[in-house]
Amino acid sequence: MAGAPPIGCHRKPARRRRALPGPRRQRGAPGARLRPGDGCRYTGGWSPLVGRAGAAQPSPGDRGEAVTLGCPDRSPAVAPSADRAPAAAHRLCGKRPHSRGEDHEKHFHEIIRKARSSIIIHSTFVSLKAMEALLPSLREAIAARGVQIDILWGHSTADGAENSTSETIEACRRRIVDLGVERSLRLHSFTTRSHAKLLVADDGRGHFHATVGSCNWLSTKFQAFEASVRLTDPLIVADVLKCLSEMAWNSTGRWAGIVAHLAGWAHNVERQTSPAGGRKLDARIVLGPQHASLFETARDDAKERIVMGSHRLGAAAETVALKPARAAIAANAVDALVLYGRASGPIDGGQAASMTLDGHASGLKVRRVYDPRMHAKFLLWDDGDLLITSQNLLSADPVSPWAEVGIHLKGAAVAREFYGRIGAVFKY
């Protein structure tokens, strides 16, 4: 990893040796890196945003809680000091899952309204209509509070829309120029080629939060069933920023501009501290190809249930997802459920129906859901393991680590709580 640039350093790396973030020496030291696979302790909060809920509301059991996070093999990582006190605010959002798809929308506008310094948005898709709807809020944040906003994107439009990527982005940029906010609202011209959906912003009180999940913030109509996790711990927020920096670097090849800005921002954020308190969870960032191993973990560890959700059901489903689920049924008689929104790629309606029948014969329930439209991507098993991600778990099998970003949460009742919310929305 000698050629990898240290976080916070503006030295251009040797591209031929570029890989995932490597070892760090010590938290807070510029240039320090953690050896791939090393465990690390985070502290902070998480808050799932689930479904088509109305106004985000706290659960009756909300309280200050702690989160202990670990790093996956070859994931971005930081190593805090051993005496760092765990702490978090744990709040469940979306208590009305049968209402309209407003929980993510309200969360998004709350982030913009509270920010006082910086917002970064990574949306796989960007549409001019969605940008037009958002521009008044962004313009107000810039004019009233001097917020700096950066937008990164993976594609511009979804599923055969008429405008090309370049046309859509250029139209959005012209609109930003027309409003005279191009210095503070930067829609970057390059694509990250990533399917990740990420938000990072300050909360108006000097702390930074990150949101990771399934929502395409700059193209959605906020009507589908989505799942996202809000993270408040400065160390994992810093790792999300490093992911964004890596995505930008892989596209530009330049250790300058937005790449260096994000890396420096990550270095500053990870030096912040969290208040002490409460319950502990284990969690880790999950990148691209790392998702597949979690199906194997669920297969081997599940004793009661496995539930997975995906917008798309494609050719990769059988090998990556369905086969491990059937093995878990055979070994431990678990209850296994697959929820998806639409068939994709070479899988047509007839083949999807055949998968449903084949699954029924082995005890695997495969269900297509229509109302609300399924766009969430998740995997849970038993009561204590939950993955929320950008990856279509039943159709995608990415090679690039930066193609997808998810969060694996592990702790008492975290999966059971999420499973209860799914059951309140879908009938299966």
Tokens of 359: 């699954």
Domain endpoint, select from 226, 245, 277: 277
- 2 in a domain, yes or no? no
**Contact 254/11 with Cβ under 8 angstroms?**
no
9 within a domain of the structure (yes/no): no
CA–CA gap between residue 373 and residue 215 (Å, rounded)? 13
Tokens of 414: 């975290």
User: Does residue 421 fall inside a structural domain?
Assistant: yes
Query: What is the model's pLDDT at position 392?
Result: 93
Domain identity same for 315 and 271: no
Does residue 91 contact residue 49 with C-beta atoms inside 8 Å?
A: no
- Indicate if 236 and 302 belong to the same structural domain: no
- Give a yes or no: residue 319 inside a domain: yes
User: In Å, what is the CA distance from 107 to each residue of 55, 127, 201, 315, 332?
Assistant: 9, 19, 12, 34, 39
Distance in angstroms between the alpha carbons of the first and the last residue of the chain: 49
Q: Determine the Cα–Cα distance for residues 290 and 315; give it in Å rounded to an integer.
A: 19
The per-residue pLDDT for 19 is 42
Looking at the fold, whether 149 and 130 belong to one and the same domain comes out as: yes
Residue 165 · residue 128 · CB < 8 Å: no
Domain stops at, among 229, 251, 277: 277
> Are 261 and 363 in a shared domain?
no
What is the value of pTM for the model shown? 0.78
Tell me: the pLDDT tens digits for 10-32? 334 444 434 444 333 333 333 33
Residue 353 one-letter amino acid: A
Instruction: Report if residue 420 sits inside a domain.
Output: yes
Domain hosting residue 342, numbered range: 288-426
306 and 217 in one domain? Answer: no
Q: What amino acid occupies position 309?
A: G
The residues pairing with 339 across neighbouring beta strands, listed in sequence order, are 309, 367
Q: How many CA atoms lie within 13 A of 339 on its CB side?
A: 25
Give me the number of domains the chain comprises.
2
Q: How do residues 291-319 score in pLDDT, each as one tens digit?
A: 999 999 999 999 999 999 999 887 788 88
Decide which of 248, 277, 306 is a domain's last residue: 277
Element (H, E) at 131: helix 128-145
* pLDDT for residue 348: 64
CATH code assigned at 355: 3.30.870.10
Whether residues 214 and 172 share a domain: the answer is yes
Tell me, yes or no, whether 382 and 271 share the same domain. no
Q: Is residue 71 part of a domain?
A: no
Task: Please indicate, yes or no, whether residues 336 and 313 belong to a single structural domain of this protein.
Answer: yes
| Cross-strand pairs, 225 | 374
pLDDT tens for the chain, residues 1 to 428? 444 444 333 334 444 434 444 333 333 333 333 233 333 334 334 566 654 433 233 332 332 233 333 333 333 333 222 232 223 333 333 333 223 357 899 999 999 999 999 999 999 999 999 999 999 999 999 999 999 999 999 975 555 544 477 789 999 999 999 999 999 999 999 999 999 999 999 999 989 999 999 999 999 999 899 999 988 888 899 999 999 999 999 999 888 899 999 999 999 999 988 745 445 677 799 999 999 999 999 999 999 999 999 998 877 888 888 899 999 999 999 999 999 988 877 666 666 666 665 666 678 999 888 888 899 999 999 999 999 999 999 998 888 999 999 999 998 899 999 999 898 888 76
Amino acid (one-letter) located at 19: A
Q: 304 and 210, same structural domain? A: no
Say if residue 264 is in the same domain as residue 326.
no
Sheet containing 378-381: give its strands across.
Answer: 282-287, 405-410, 385-389, 378-381, 305-313, 335-343, 364-368
Same domain for 375 and 293:
yes
The phi and psi torsions of 184 (rounded to 5 degrees) equal -105, -20
Residues 271 and 392 in one domain: no
* Domain assignment present for 13: no
Structural domain includes residue 177: yes
**SS3 of 401, please?**
helix
